[in-house]
Structure 1
């Protein structure tokens, strides 16, 4: 009787998860399907398969005619630079706060955490004033530095929690073997923190890749805009080029999916352990 009850319970859970997976993935399938249709059949063909041959020309038009190649290149530059900067700075800061004995480190950490209570859009004016005074407005460097600064608190919190749980005996053994602090950080702490670093990489990649509001504040030159700006090119006041919009959206989504597939094990490990070494 108990086995039968467990069977129906497990079957119900699996059916619900299958249903939820289909519901979650359907918008992605619909987006890809629409990107392969002709413009005149988008509103007449409600199926997922185009009436005629797959129209891959939409991707070429979105990439070249819509200038999506430039916006994509910009976002790749911003994402790579910001994620590398965040990983380096946040790991050094988290290691220092977690493992080093220094005056005021608790105050420094609480100051970082206090910024989490400030909505990022609420700081746009302050960020722009600082960037203007430093001559960094409407520059790639200024935009990258602003994104790094706004993403550091969460990354430091995740890595500090992870470092706090690593045994101090490892450090003591390394010091006895002649390792200095930087060698301990680079050769011991960073490899052990790979799940937390993977979590940071994925979260910040998503954040930077999808960022748009700060770019509107910082940039006046459209050639510096990120990939989200490229999507607005296909949306006009009176008409929307849905087939090109969906093709551009597909191009935008694919890199994020690829990164998640490559790092999903480390990401899930970091999330399920609450960003604490397990």
Structure 2
């Protein structure tokens, strides 16, 4: 049986194909104005990567803010439920998942693939991936270089702003005082980790803890969050696909 999971997020669309629990194809695309077309394109890319045709897919489910646009998906769970199912498949012993996407961060307490409690930070960009994207532009560096640059920092620079707008002004001030970009990048990671850590503690930090979402690829942020939480985080091989994996598994189980 081949099941397909679609995570139609606000910024990207993830599609994954599982055969007997193993990934045979996956794709990620930027979500544009024509959401249904972008979803179809992501599915086609995953199908091509798997070397199959769409008719070979026996189960389809979708999650994410754009899940209603996924045609043919009868099962459309929330991202909270999909994330809990996906991380349990990848790390069966995980008790908490911290998922930091483009627009929001969330912490989910998990038990046997089910979400038992959760909290979401969706009111401020300073706790989401767009914050790092914005700060990368301010520092005039590539997003992919942000994490490695933060790891090179040798000085701790405090950042007081708790809002993305004010943080940008603070970064500009640090640039004008000739603060090293490495130290500024670390300060940004520390500030963001502080917000995510504070959010997570609202429902109690319970190891083992996994980190998912695109920001999990930022090693500078990972270090900052580990320091804030005082734990070593588990990182999936493809952290952006945790929800897609979860919903693909749910599709297969529903079938």
| Bucket of the pairwise TM-score, normalised by the shorter protein | under 0.3
Bigger relative contact order, structure 1 or 2, given CA contacts below 8 A and separation 6+?
A: 1
TM-score (norm 2): 0.28
Structure with greater strand percent: 2
TM-score (norm 1): 0.26
Structure with greater helix percent: 1
